[in-house]
Structure 1
Amino acid sequence: MGISPEAPLVTQVKEVIKDKWDIFFLTILIISMGQLSLGLIFPLLPWISDSFDINQRVVEWVIIGYLLGYGPSQLIYGPLSYIYGRRLTLFVGLFISILGLVIIFLFSNEFYCLVIGRFIQGVGSGCESVISRSILHDSYKNKFFLTAVTGLSIISAFIPIFSPIVGGLVNHNFGWVAVFNVLLIYIILGYLVLVFYLPETLKTSRDKISFIPIVLYYRDLLTDRYFISYAIMGWINWALVIFCGALSPFIFERQFGLSSEAYAYWTIIPAVAFLLSSFLCFIFRKSYGTHHIVFIAPFIQFVVGLLFFLYPSNLFIITCGFIGIAVAQAFIYPCSQSLLLVPYSNKFGTVSALSGCGQMISAALFILFFIYAGFDHILSLAILIILTALIGLILAIIGKYSQAYAMLNTTD
């Protein structure tokens, strides 16, 4: 790549896409399969609840089951991809994901089969995040890798915010089962595209991998102040967005009386806000530094929490609040992911797998705990947002003054 790493970030992004556009867009295809499996489902939850005559706590297992399968499986796919290659490991995972959707297709009239199918789908989808980032790591070097993975992180955070538009419209016109059918068709078509066009990017495979050093490295990471600060920052903010995605259909369709179609159109608003804020994030990172951007999100979230407390029944204010949540996520998620990966580039796969596992499990536990604790309305959501803001601010301070940050700051 002939461009200097000191060039403007937007120029770097253009060069990243231009240099290996096929690899970059294939990783987008890979990551979209897992993220669509979350975002498309959010608008369906009230309808699934009514269809099976179950309450909100039970129907959330459609999301929780997927996350519990998705998270831990990432710890397995990372090491396996170094032995069997990126392609084979990815195709095995996607096949498992398709198997889970086939179970849902065949037994959609049984709720327990729906949850089992979602769990199996999650186990398969765990390959997508790890393998897509590993492919970028194989293909891009130095700061260009950081630019590529930041772009991929923005897209992976954007899809669950944008995809409820599609899910809500399909649900409104064809019913909630049709959304899973659309998802199945999409993943099968994506699978075929990858079979024909995805090259093997791992240059040298390994005969075997000892899992004991990997487990010990996981332990070391979980005691590393720098890793913990930026990892948990990403986890709790991701968990908040997923929780809001799982809760918002019930808020807007049942508390404010929006139809499924109207809710689908409403989701365009925070999706556009996220997209525009992502571009601002790219600009601000070059001017002020990635480590400073992560301090913006907690203040936005704190304001949103106050608005929810003061105006819990005002649809316009609540919409502005969800815009604020999207903007905060656009700033904090790609930046926290970039800061997390830079100091551990020699152990990228392991760090990415552990980070992804924690991200999904934390989101599942977030939903499980707070939904069962009765946090199912705007006022309780305000408490969670303010709590997330305070924790995020503390973690940003800890990360900034950690030893790894000091080393990163002197080398950049």
Structure 2
Amino acid sequence: MSQVESPRRASAGLLFLLGGLAALGALSTNIMLPSFPAIAQALQADAQGMGLILSSFFITFALGQLLVGPLADTFGRKPLVLGGLLVFVIGSALCGLAESLPVLLAGRVVQALGVCAVSVLARAIARDLFDGEALAKVLVFTMVIMASAPGFSPLIGGLLDTAFGWRAAFVFVGALSVLVGGLYVVRVGETLPWIMRSPISLGMVARGYLGLLGDWRFTRPALAVGLVIGALYAFFASAPGVLMGQLGLSALQLGVFFALTVLVVFAAGLLSPRLVHRFGAAKVMPAGAGLALLGALLLMAWAHSLTLLSFSLAMTVFLFGMGLANPVGTAVALQPFPRQAGLASALIGFLQMGMAAVASSLALSLPQLASVSLAQVLALATGAALVLFLLPAAREKVAPVAS
């Protein structure tokens, strides 16, 4: 390995930078949630149009990653990271200046095209720099930040909306991406040596993706993590309808609720490496999915007589389980493929955002109470993830995670 694997580079600054790269996509979506009523009024958009603001981003994000992964394995990480951040800034500016829903949707598509590269390559950079136990620990921390950002972002979005209006959120994420890009240039730079780069052709890319999908070591954890992340985004999409529509919370109170969920994700992230070190990934992954399923079933039981306390309890159980299963499953999927880190990371991201698009759209479109729709989607996704995690791991070899 190169010198970037040294303790100096494995600092808290590097870990937060990787987490920031991974979290930028989720941040740029959830920061808008408190502003949805204001955006709908300003742009005269109906519920279906507002749903497109989310689904257009997720679909573009999912498909764009499939191209970014192989390009990064051929040309290196740095051009794709910096190019992606530049495209994201352009998309954010387009969103912030939008005077109609079609222009806002176009800006969201451009945002997604840019930020999908950043999210994919955060995982690939981690795979470039670290291996085995170190890789799993870095991915745990990165995924904790990635899952925590959506918790803080609605509170930030609510404050920005109250003080400056809904367009301020796009100014904020654009400025943040410039800061992240500067830190990346100074602290990380290129991490893929020339000797590790692969030639690119359409046939090779197709064979690479098909090879990964046909490898049970990748498919089992990657699909399961995709389902868990899909459930998480269904929660994000449905929470305003549950908390504001059913329970009467304000936009600011919604932001505070999301911010408090970060504590749950952090707790799971801190506990996850210790549990894997003691019990092994093969037990921690299904345990996490099982807890997430339990949270969904609790919500289903309480959905028709929901209170803030019962919703909070059900979502705490779900988020804690998600926080255990997600980073460990991601590390398990990436570990066997050091020479295909970009490709594997892109396919994981595609599965995650594809599931997010399906799950969030389904949760918002079912003709029933928001809490009932959310509970059904969460139960379906986490139940399927649990089945995958419980299936035999075949010849999979998982490095333990140090405490």
* Mapped partners of 2:32, 2:167: distance in 1: 10
User: Residue 179 of structure 2 aligns to which amino acid in structure 1?
Assistant: L
* Mapped partners of 1:17, 1:151: distance in 2: 17
Structure 1 residue 294 and structure 2 residue 282: aligned?
no
* Mapped partners of 2:84, 2:173: distance in 1: 16
Two-structure CA RMSD over aligned residues (Å): 2.6
Q: Which residue of 1 aligns with 2:68?
A: 77
Shift of 1:146: 2.8
The worse-fitting range, judged by mean Cα deviation, of 295-304 and 149-158 is 295-304
Q: Which residue of 2 aligns with 1:7?
A: none
Structure 1 residue 254 and structure 2 residue 245: aligned?
yes
Normalising by structure 2, we get a TM-score of 0.89
Shift of 1:196: 4.4
Q: Deviations over 1:55-107 (max 9, x none)?
A: 33321211111112211111222222233322122111111111111111222
Structure 1 residue 171 and structure 2 residue 171: aligned?
no
Match of 1:145 among 135, 142, 149: 135
- Cα 1:194/1:180, change in 2 over 3 Å: same
- Cα 1:46/1:284, change in 2 over 3 Å: farther
Match of 2:117 among 127, 140, 150: 127
Q: Deviations over 1:20-77 (max 9, x none)?
A: 5554343233223223112312333343234334333321211111112211111222
* Mapped partners of 1:209, 1:379: distance in 2: 46
Matches within 5 A, 1:1-20: 19-20=10-11
Q: Which residue of 1 aligns with 2:170?
A: 180
* Mapped partners of 1:189, 1:18: distance in 2: 19
Shift of 1:393: 1.8
Matches within 5 A, 1:189-208: 189-204=179-194, 206=197, 208=199
Q: Tell me the secondary structure at the aligned position of residue 267 of structure 1.
A: helix
Match of 1:162 among 137, 152, 160: 152
- Conserved 8 A contact 1:306-1:382: yes
- Cα 1:269/1:22, change in 2 over 3 Å: closer
Aligned residues: 395
Q: Which residue of 2 aligns with 1:374?
A: 367
User: Residue 174 of structure 2 aligns to which amino acid in structure 1?
Assistant: L
* Mapped partners of 1:338, 1:281: distance in 2: 12
Structure 1 residue 95 and structure 2 residue 82: aligned?
no
* Mapped partners of 2:132, 2:299: distance in 1: 43
Q: Which residue of 1 aligns with 2:330?
A: 337
* Mapped partners of 1:39, 1:290: distance in 2: 30
Structure 2 stretches lacking a partner, 5+ long: none
Structure 1 stretches lacking a partner, 5+ long: 2-14
* Mapped partners of 1:355, 1:139: distance in 2: 19
* Mapped partners of 1:118, 1:92: distance in 2: 17
The worse-fitting range, judged by mean Cα deviation, of 355-364 and 211-220 is 211-220
User: Residue 72 of structure 1 aligns to which amino acid in structure 2?
Assistant: L
Q: Which residue of 1 aligns with 2:347?
A: 354
User: Residue 221 of structure 2 aligns to which amino acid in structure 1?
Assistant: Y
Q: Tell me the secondary structure at the aligned position of residue 60 of structure 1.
A: helix
Shift of 1:246: 1.1
* Mapped partners of 1:31, 1:201: distance in 2: 16
- Conserved 8 A contact 2:19-2:143: no
- Conserved 8 A contact 1:69-1:121: no
